[in-house]
């Protein structure tokens, strides 16, 4: 069952989502383990990252026991303005006491197919040879077309064929992306969508109302099997709910 958290404006949303991220991290670390976090691209998560970075000294999270992954990436070099890695590094990771080897960038600017295989191998090293990895928290955005991560409507990566990570050519962008599979996202202990702005209102209500397996919106297929599903939305995005 999805939990919807509504906020008056984007700043309140960013603060609410940042508190949630820290709380999930603390819960994951409570037993002495690491917090595995998959980051999203997009402008909404960026605001959340900036709030987390501002609070870094004041939280009880042990940053040395956080492992940073990505839910998706644009296949561009890491210093490209479009890079999700670059955005998260600038908004968040550069401000944290985190060693480089705890940060697992999705690299697909070379051969996207090889990049996806390499990232899956990295996940298998970090999570073990399980049927599926279980992230503690996966952050996601929602595109106006109903895409999430880099799972775009009608694209090949929606059918994972058992792969954890897929290259995905997105025709309307004429660009390669890399993405976690639907199954990997649905295996997480918690998934949180961060959605703001009036241009998301219509698709948000359609995704939340969809409720059936035939929905054309990839975001409607995010239903963690045994984990929690959270939606952090601002008033403008929630206008149609």
Residues in contact with ligand 6PG by the rule CB under 6 A: 40-44, 72, 74, 84, 141-143, 147-149
Q: Which is nearer to ligand 6PG, 112 or 141 (CB)?
A: 141
Q: Which is nearer to ligand 6PG, 29 or 48 (CB)?
A: 48
Label residue 110 exposed, middle or buried (CB < 10 Å: 0-12, 13-18, 19+). Answer: exposed
The phi-psi region of residue 196 (left if phi > 0; otherwise alpha if psi is between -120 and 50; otherwise beta) is beta
Least distance to ligand 6PG from the beta carbon of 210, Å? 17
Least distance to ligand 6PG from the beta carbon of 30, Å? 29
Q: Which is nearer to ligand 6PG, 61 or 194 (CB)?
A: 194
SS3 assignment for 101-159 = HHECCCCCCCCHHHHHHHHHHHHHHHHCCCCCCCCCEEEECCCCCCCECCECCCCHHHC
Quick count: other Cβ atoms within 10 Å of Cβ 228? 15
In this chain, which residue has its C-beta nearest to ligand 6PG?
141
Q: Which is nearer to ligand 6PG, 82 or 121 (CB)?
A: 82
Nearest to 147 by CA among 224, 94, 200: 200
The Cα 81–Cα 77 span in angstroms is: 9
Least distance to ligand 6PG from the beta carbon of 41, Å? 3
Q: Which is nearer to ligand 6PG, 42 or 167 (CB)?
A: 42
Cβ atoms of 95 and 56 closer than 8 Å? yes
Least distance to ligand 6PG from the beta carbon of 83, Å? 9
Rg of the chain over CA atoms, in angstroms? 17
Least distance to ligand 6PG from the beta carbon of 82, Å? 8
Least distance to ligand 6PG from the beta carbon of 220, Å? 14
Q: Which is nearer to ligand 6PG, 38 or 123 (CB)?
A: 38
């Amino acid at each position: 069952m999805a939990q919807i958290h509504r906020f008056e404006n984007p700043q309140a949303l960013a603060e609410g989502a940042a508190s949630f991220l820290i709380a999930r991290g603390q819960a994951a670390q409570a037993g002495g383990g690491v917090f595995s976090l998959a980051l999203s691209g997009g402008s909404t998560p960026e605001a959340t990252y900036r709030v987390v970075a501002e609070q870094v000294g004041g939280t009880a999270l042990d940053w040395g026991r956080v492992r940073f992954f990505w839910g998706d990436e644009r296949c561009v070099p890491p210093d490209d303005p479009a890079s999700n890695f670059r955005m998260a590094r600038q908004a968040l990771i550069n401000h944290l006491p985190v060693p480089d080897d705890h940060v697992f960038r999705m690299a697909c600017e070379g051969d996207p197919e090889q990049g996806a295989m390499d990232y899956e191998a990295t996940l298998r090293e970090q999570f073990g040879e399980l049927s599926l990895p279980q992230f503690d928290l996966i952050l996601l955005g929602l595109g106006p077309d109903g895409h999430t991560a880099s799972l775009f409507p009608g694209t090949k990566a929606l059918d994972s064929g058992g792969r954890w990570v897929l290259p995905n050519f997105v025709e309307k962008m004429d660009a390669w992306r890399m993405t976690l599979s639907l199954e990997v996202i649905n295996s997480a202990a918690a998934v949180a969508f961060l959605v703001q702005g009036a241009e998301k209102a219509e698709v948000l209500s359609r995704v939340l109302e969809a409720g059936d397996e035939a929905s054309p919106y990839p975001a409607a297929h995010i239903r963690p099997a045994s984990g929690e599903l959270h939606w952090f939305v601002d008033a403008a995005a929630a206008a149609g709910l």
